[in-house]
A and B are shown apart, each in its own frame.
Chain A
Amino acid sequence: MNREFVFVPARFSAQAMPLNPGHHSVLHPAASQAGNIEWLYWVIFWILFAVFVLMVAAFARAGAKSRVLDDAPLPIIEDDDGDRRAGWAVGSALAITVITLFVVLVLSVITGKRVEGLTSKNPITIQITGHQWWWEISYPNSQADQTVTTANEIHVPVGTPVVVLTNSADVIHSFWAPSITGKRDLLPGYSSAFSFQVDREGTYRGQCAEFCGLQHAHMGFSIIAEPVDKFQSWRQQQLKPAIEPAASESSRGREVFLTHACVMCHTIRGTDAGSRVGPDLTHIASRNMIAAETLPNTAGALAGWVVDPQRIKPGTQMSPNPLAPDELQALVVYLQSLQ
């Protein structure tokens, strides 16, 4: 965003805070929407900072004239001349206040229109449905076999507008990636739309921002912005059914999946597992993290999650699965093969 250079001092002070830039902060935008909002934030901040300084100075000056330690209360005074001058001062202060508020209002409305008024010919549409406590992501398409369904990890092409349609399967959640745009509540019974456009490649984290129960704290997601060709190849890969297991251990792992509790809740397209209760696992190995951005997608974390999710996210919907060690090993190998 080109507006940033106007407020360079402000940006310096923001970046003085130690943080991986562009990761997960209101003040490190990576999309036009968050950039506009950050600009508005700093404008309002400096206006209000000036107000703060003036008011504190006024109170300090007024308070400095205090006679602190007189024990007896002083006699009452009347000051008509002072009252007249005070009248002018208060009146002017009020006028300045009204003007300032009006400026803030106008800037807010303008920025709001900029943030929401993303017009485009070919946006990518994403349907996000909130569940307790994961995000169901789908890329709807008029052809059913072109609809991508995944969970918790959103891929978008850089520089392309994205329209998000919201819904919730149970309680109110809120979709919020601070580096991308403002939040939007996912309300059951309502579907609303908002849009964003990511300007910089990278991975941007988000988290549920409306209290939704026991594991509200562990309901994260990520938005991965990548070049258009990488995005298309990711999309094509996601549309494919699950990879057939090559090695015998993978095969055994698939057997474990299909004969234990896993099949009651998860889908792996290309197998008999078709339940929609939990996230779609067809391409689970292509995701960076599991359990809604709680754990890295490594063999150890996956094994720990499968065996006892309640220790990591107490109250989550997934049940513990006490598998024998060789079964667990085979299952993890299989799941890690599902690119």
Chain B
Amino acid sequence: MRLHLHIAFLFASTLWLGSCSREDRILRQPPPANDTLNTVQISGLNPGANSIPTPPNSNMYQESAYAVAEGQKLYEEYNCVGCHAHGGGGIGPPLMDRDWIYGSEPGNVFATIMQGRPNGMPSFRNRIPEYQAWELAAYVRSLAGLLPKGVSPDRPDRMNVKPSESSTPEQIPTGITGVPGQPK
């Protein structure tokens, strides 16, 4: 009986200590102590004696499924879709491929969002809080498959980007009418 209790307690404490960061709901953001924008850099080289410290806490958003899902929601709400579609691109470059013009590290994507880029990418500095830019960066990286599968967001509750296979015209035998997707 006592052995069972000990085993149960050990089990419970092991689990507690190994809590999953994937499931963290980051509701209270760490306060923006200083402007992290200037600490994001593309190159590891910088002049002078002291190196610029890496931005804190960016991994927090990369590892939380909740943060990536928030990024997915913000992607729609802030109309990133307007230029980048759902990753396929349009006016703006696609985000699902491996071509990263300005780098694919979380800090790089964050800097792209906050600073803006030539040829049409707006700067969102002071328009969206930094933590939301980190969440968007995490989501964008998930579009390219750079996040572990467990953290990547699931399908959203909206229409598919492309129609399902069974309703594309090539799949439907000729002569059938009244099927969605096929011209009448």
Contacts and interface: CB of A to CB of B under 8 A. Distances in A.
A45 B181 CA distance: 56
A319 interface: yes
Interface in A282-313: 310-311
Contacts of A311: 28
B27 A310 contact: yes
A320 B132 CA distance: 10
Contact of A315 (B27, B77, B128, B129): B27
A264 B28 contact: no
B124 to A, nearest CB: 8
Interface in A266-285: 275, 277
Interface residues of A, number: 19
Given A261-B127, A264-B127, A277-B77, A319 B157 contact: no
Contact of B27 (A263, A277, A314, A322): A314
A320 B126 contact: no
B126 A259 contact: yes
A113 interface: no
A263 B132 contact: no
Contact of B127 (A263, A277, A320, A322): A263
A260 interface: yes
A310 B127 contact: no
A310 B126 contact: no
Contacts of A260: 126-127
Contacts, number: 36
B78 interface: yes
A170 B156 CA distance: 10
A310 B29 contact: yes
B31 interface: yes
Contacts of A264: 77-78, 127-128
Q: Which of A263, A275, A311, A320 has the most CB of B within 10 A?
A: A320
Given A259-B126, A261-B129, A264-B78, A322 B28 contact: no
A207 B129 CA distance: 30
A259 B126 CA distance: 7
A43 interface: no
Q: Which of A188, A310, A321 has the most CB of B within 10 A?
A: A310
B120 to A, nearest CB: 18
A5 B78 CA distance: 57
B126 A261 contact: yes
A139 to B, nearest CB: 25
B67 to A, nearest CB: 13
B28 A314 contact: yes
Interface in B112-127: 126-127
A265 interface: yes
Interface in A232-279: 259-261, 263-265, 275, 277
Contacts of B98: none
Nearest to A316: B27
Given A188-B157, A310-B27, A322-B31, A265 B127 contact: no
Interface string B22-40: 0001011101100000000
A314 B31 CA distance: 15
A315 B25 contact: yes
Contacts of A310: 27-29
Nearest to B130: A319
Given A259-B126, A261-B128, A320 B157 contact: no
A319 B28 contact: no
Contacts of B157: 170, 188
A322 B77 contact: no
Contacts of B127: 260-261, 263-264
8 contacts: A260-B126, A261-B127, A261-B129, A263-B127, A264-B77, A315-B27, A320-B129, A321-B129
Interface of A: 170, 188, 214, 259-261, 263-265, 275, 277, 310-311, 314-315, 319-322
Interface of B: 25, 27-29, 31-32, 77-78, 126-129, 131-132, 157
Given A260-B127, A264-B128, A321-B129, 15 more contacts: A188-B157, A214-B25, A260-B126, A261-B128, A261-B129, A264-B78, A275-B77, A277-B77, A310-B28, A311-B28, A314-B27, A319-B128, A319-B129, A319-B131, A322-B31
